[in-house]
Amino acid sequence: MKFAHIADMHFDSPFVSLSDKDILGDLRRLEQRKAFKKVIEYCKTNQIEYLFISGDLYEHKYVKLSTIEYINQLFQEIPDTKIFISPGNHDPYIKNSYYNKFNWSKNVKIFKSQIEKIEEKEADIYGYGFDDFYCTDSKIENLEIENQDKINILIIHGTLDGASIEEKQYNSMTRRMLKEKNFDYIALGHIHKPDYSSEIVYPGSTISLGFDELGEHGMIVGDIQKGKITTEFIPLDDEKFKEIEMDVTDIMSKEELIEKINELEIQENEYIKIILKGNRNFEINKYDILKYLSNERIIKIKDYTKIAYDLKSIANENTLRGLFAKNMLEKLEAPEITEEEKQIIEKAIEIGMDALE
């Protein structure tokens, strides 16, 4: 049986923390649609019998009815593909969810919070869906396969071997427990990095949702026979997120920094975050710098630089500058100073030093 497996599409995600430029959220939502169309076209072209969607298909808080209608219209274009959806923590099956109140295409099966088995001719397909934004007891450990002679598949959203309190709130399961269930394929969602080294599979997020999701993103496709499985990762996201580090220690002005950034070689399909490091010799305002960059592909700047002034040496000067440095040094060395307060003081030092030159 041929299948495709996706998860964590997050349709209509606001992408609020993705970029320092407002337009990128709109662009990524269009790119979500483009990637999803590729999934549907692949199913059409390759006569895919089953499409597994392991949660977080959309963002419950933000998704529009028009987006749901768009998704369902694409589902209707592959009537011979049986679609199984296991809701996750971002798209739980709750009373006012579109899973509950929308009239989905006939080829779509949406699992609820009671573990359910769907009997197909060649396979038994088990599934579980979140019924809230958290899940601490799916009771998946009590599930037993009823017919070991058939192909057995589990579709579920959750965390493997979750250790932290936060991880355990999202249906934490152990890899060992799942392996003992003896499923032929376990279609997982929730972790946004692909992992298909065994029969327990995360396809990763279908497109990258930001700079914490570097690398390729797409879907898993495969063919399952009893006792034999082949899988392949198919990239779907045409864009790539990339981080570039730049040391500003030898850069002496804002203008020089802008020139250096503009000289970078950047591909047309890359979204770039510049990470500034080293000792800075001038005040850095990342939003101001972004305005003057010529390449629109640079969408975010992170400033991890430190001030270049040797405050201890300056504080020994019998000058107004020395008195200022001594005062600022005392503030920086104050007990229990927060990181935010430290950044404010460092910014004040830069402004003060410039004024006292």
Q: What is the pLDDT of residues 313-348, one digit of tens each?
A: 899 999 998 999 899 899 988 888 888 888 888 888
Return the bridge partners of 152, or none. Answer: 124
**DSSP code, position 138:** -
What 3-state DSSP class applies to 105? Answer: coil
- % of the chain at pLDDT higher than 70: 98
Task: Report in angstroms the alpha-carbon separations of 291 from 20, 207, 296.
Answer: 10, 27, 10
* CA 333, 335, 338, 344 torsion-angle sign: negative
Whether 157 and 56 have beta carbons less than 8 Å apart is answered as: yes
| Residue 22 pLDDT exceeds 70 | no
**d(Cα 225, Cα 229) in Å, to the nearest integer?**
6
Domain boundaries, the chain: 2-235, 240-356
pLDDT tens digits, 126-148 = 999 999 999 999 999 999 999 99
pTM of the model as a whole: 0.86
CATH of domain 2-235: 3.60.21.10
